[in-house]
Homo-oligomer: A and B are copies of this chain.
Amino acid sequence: MKTALLATAVFMAPFAVLADPLPSWTESDTKTRIIEFVNAVTDPDSPDYVTPADRISVFDNDGTLWAEQPVYFQLTFAMDRLAELANADPSILSNPTLEAAAEGDLQAIVDGGHDALIEVVNASHAGVSVEQFQDSVANWLDTARHPDTGLPYDQMTYQPMVELLRYLRDEGFRTYIVSGGGLHFMRVFAEEAYGIPPEQILGTYTDTIYETGDGAPAIIKAPGIAFIDDKEGKPINIERTIGRRPILAGGNSDGDFAMLEWTTAGSGPRLGILVHHTDAQREWAYDRESPIGKLVDGLDKGPELGWVIVDMAQDWDRIYTGGD
């Protein structure tokens, strides 16, 4: 039996060593730097060793873990939801902004600015229980398809990033989402898409109301936005919710700058990762001038702060989890 065990160990070892934890990443400096960081903080003999409890990693969602063009997917959901609700009760389209949104007229919402956006969010997200809202998101994900790729939205996750999340967890990290997207929206798909459970998702949220009218108590989504999980809100939300400073942070826009800054300014080994959208062929190419996912400070200051800039066209062999 001892011999059999030994033989198995010898047989298995090369596979353990050679298995590529990031098969959809090309053999680049980017990949090497990520793997070297993980090795350094997980090797008990390394001076940079970090105990598992402190291996906290945080990731933005839109443009970092899944695509965000031509418009944030949650806004597409909001407009589709509005159209669906108006089918049952046309009176909910009580003004031109909501009428335009239900018709999918994105430009009208953009022109209407913040107020128009809040109106659309309120009409599509508020006044229902969290469970009811999340059912509507799940139904939408089942049926909606992206206009350009034809994929279900939750298949437009980035396969290289899904691999990175899994690799980190295999190495004793906890993986969190810290996103400007809606908390309740993301919780519907993040566990299946990324392996990230509800308690490890931080996002933008509305107030909720605890109601105990007739029957069982329920938690109802109120209108408005109570907390925007973007820019300085990201480190603030991480400190408040997790209470530990991450050692690795990933993002794609200047909305993530403060999160990466706070993460990498900590003592000991730290890694900041920015996904740079450089691939007009397979995805989209945008940065400094884009209204969505604008990236200026990260490109200008990130490299000198030691952040890894992922060149999507060069560093990723494959883009979408649901693609080829």
The residue from B53, B130, B201, B261 contacting A239, defined by CB atoms under 8 A apart? B130
Q: Is the CB of A243 within 8 A of B201?
A: yes
Q: Is the CB of B205 within 8 A of A243?
A: no
Chain copies in the assembled complex:
2
CA A252 to CA B271, docked complex, whole Å:
44
Q: Is the CB of B265 within 8 A of A217?
A: yes
Contacts of A241 in B (CB 8 A): 199, 241
Chain A's interface size range is 20 to 34
The residue from B208, B217, B244 contacting A240, defined by CB atoms under 8 A apart? B208
Q: Is the CB of B199 within 8 A of A219?
A: no
A172 lies within 8 A of chain B by Cβ = no
Contacts of A208 in B (CB 8 A): 236, 239-240
Contact residues of A between 188 and 242, Cβ < 8 Å to B: 197-199, 201, 205, 208-210, 212, 216-217, 219, 232, 235-236, 239-242
Contacts of A265 in B (CB 8 A): 216-217
CA A235 to CA B1, docked complex, whole Å:
54
Contact residues of A between 244 and 276, Cβ < 8 Å to B: 244, 258, 261-262, 265
Q: Is the CB of A240 within 8 A of B210?
A: no
Query: Knowing A241-B199, A244-B199 touch, does A210 contact B236 (C-beta < 8 A)?
Result: yes
Q: How far is the CB of A121 from chain B (nearest CB, A)?
A: 17
With CB as the reference atom, state the residue of chain B lying closest to A1. Answer: B1
Contacts of A210 in B (CB 8 A): 232, 235-236, 258, 262
Q: Is the CB of B198 within 8 A of A244?
A: yes
Contacts of A130 in B (CB 8 A): 239
Q: How far is the CB of A4 from chain B (nearest CB, A)?
A: 13
CA A130 to CA B236, docked complex, whole Å:
11
CA A210 to CA B260, docked complex, whole Å:
13
20 A–B contact pairs at CB < 8 A? A183-B240, A183-B243, A197-B243, A198-B242, A198-B243, A199-B243, A199-B244, A208-B236, A208-B239, A208-B240, A210-B232, A210-B236, A210-B262, A216-B265, A217-B235, A217-B258, A219-B235, A219-B236, A219-B239, A219-B262
Beyond the given A217-B258, A219-B235, A219-B262, please list 5 additional residue pairs across the A-B interface where CB-CB is below 8 A.
A53-B197, A197-B243, A205-B240, A212-B258, A219-B236
Q: Which of A209, A232, A242 has the most CB of B within 10 A?
A: A232
Q: Is the CB of B199 within 8 A of A261?
A: no
A55 lies within 8 A of chain B by Cβ = no
CA A318 to CA B209, docked complex, whole Å:
39
Contacts of A262 in B (CB 8 A): 210, 217, 219
CA A214 to CA B262, docked complex, whole Å:
14
The residue from B217, B236, B242, B244 contacting A261, defined by CB atoms under 8 A apart? B217
Q: How far is the CB of A103 from chain B (nearest CB, A)?
A: 33
